[in-house]
Structure 1
Amino acid sequence: MKIDGHGQAKILTPEEITRLFQAGLHSDRDRALFGLCLYTGCRINEACTRLVRDVYQESGLVSAEILIRKKDTKGRRATRSIQTHPRLRQWLEAYQPQVKTDYLFPGRWQRGYIRPTSAHKLLQQAFQRVEIIGASTHSFRRTALTQMSAAGIPLRVIQEISGHNSLAALQKYLEVSEAQKGQAIAALTF
């Protein structure tokens, strides 16, 4: 569902993210799955197709970096390695898949991986529980990339994390707030 004024998925506020992860998502698996989207800026398909070894060490500990393999990315451009955020680490530690499967988020009857359409349905139910309107699985990607930009992270670094082919493609994801516009004008010193 894309409903903001520019036909793009809603960017979530910090308050909405808190409500969603505390009250909307009911399982460790769901918090780990959607936390992966939020804290890596990855697409839902990239999260669903993660292998256990892309996230956990052989010892069972969460890896310092999340691996998103080239074959699982939209443009199959490059493998990405993204540092594991402390909050994401907590969700992944709480989740620890219990079945023996190669996929981090197994599908129905432990065959293959959870399909992005199934993940979307789970998320829509969670959004309804906490009354968040206009958001989708893609909201996590837009939220993560916009927050990085707002924090002053150089666009080239954000591009490496997101896997976008060009800065122009990345910039379509980013939202600029009125406060940021005001800060930009206030920064003028001439």
Structure 2
Amino acid sequence: MGQAKTLTQAEIDQVLRHCATRKFAIRDRVLFLTSLWSGMRAGEIAQLTIGQVLNQDGTVKAEIKLLAEQTKGRHARTVFLPKKLRDELAYYLKFRAVSNSGIPLFFTAKRAGFTPNTLVQHFFWLYRDAGISGASSHSGRRNFITTLANKGISVRVLASLAGHQSIAVTQKYIDVNDDMKRNAVELL
């Protein structure tokens, strides 16, 4: 199987329009945006708890501390959340109206937390039903890394954000496209 597809802005908009038609529209929108704007793997997103995301005063944290057991490489790391994602999470959490910090951030239709596998499947069906072929649960992560690379962020910073131990792994995530090449030559 090849690498997950990186999404165009038109495809991102298409997925967001599709999310708006779903039974759990807000949840699905925020799940999708979390994958795009945080760089977390589906398994990491699935294991997030309310307490990892909310401050004591009920505001959304700017940084999420992932425990070693929540990450693929078993290395704890900090995930930095952009303001636009914090705003989306705050909106979503208004509807959750929960006070127990130990419960999962995202829930299934059965009101249970997603397992890593069920969230991978959820993303598969979300993309398929939105009419996006070639996308997977890793597409958001690839988009995150590629978008930041396109904006000039160094591969060392990208590797740290992604939780990669090797920049060689991170470089495989960066999708080179014609726009990136056009922008590069204009720097001459």
Identify whether the pair has TM-score above 0.5, normalized to the shorter chain.
yes
CA distance in 2, matches of 1:151, 1:158: 11
Q: CA deviation at 1:107?
A: 5.2
CA distance in 1, matches of 2:127, 2:87: 22
CA distance in 1, matches of 2:4, 2:119: 16
**How many residue pairs end up in the alignment?**
181
Is the contact between residue 80 and residue 160 of structure 1 (CA under 8 Å) also seen in structure 2? Answer: no
CA distance in 1, matches of 2:85, 2:109: 24
CA distance in 1, matches of 2:108, 2:180: 42
Q: CA deviation at 1:109?
A: 4.8
What is residue 9 of structure 2 aligned with on the other side? 14
TM-score by length of 2: 0.85
The letter of the residue matching 1:154 is S
Q: CA deviation at 1:162?
A: 0.4
Instruction: Verify: 1:175 aligned to 2:175, yes or no.
Output: yes
Is the contact between residue 48 and residue 115 of structure 1 (CA under 8 Å) also seen in structure 2? Answer: yes
TM-score by length of 1: 0.84
Gaps of 5+ in 1: none
Distance 1:147 1:57, change over 3 A: same
What is residue 125 of structure 1 aligned with on the other side? 125
Identity of matched residues, %: 33
CA-based RMSD: 2.1
Instruction: Verify: 1:86 aligned to 2:83, yes or no.
Output: yes
Is the contact between residue 63 and residue 78 of structure 2 (CA under 8 Å) also seen in structure 1? Answer: no
What is residue 161 of structure 1 aligned with on the other side? 161
What is residue 49 of structure 1 aligned with on the other side? 47
Is the contact between residue 9 and residue 136 of structure 1 (CA under 8 Å) also seen in structure 2? Answer: yes
What is residue 58 of structure 2 aligned with on the other side? 60
Gaps of 5+ in 2: none
What is residue 136 of structure 1 aligned with on the other side? 136
Q: Which moved more, 1:146-155 or 1:55-64?
A: 55-64
SS at the partner of 2:173?
A: coil
Q: Which moved more, 1:28-37 or 1:102-111?
A: 102-111
CA distance in 2, matches of 1:53, 1:66: 10
Large movers: runs of 4+ above 4 Å: 107-111
Is the contact between residue 65 and residue 76 of structure 2 (CA under 8 Å) also seen in structure 1? Answer: no
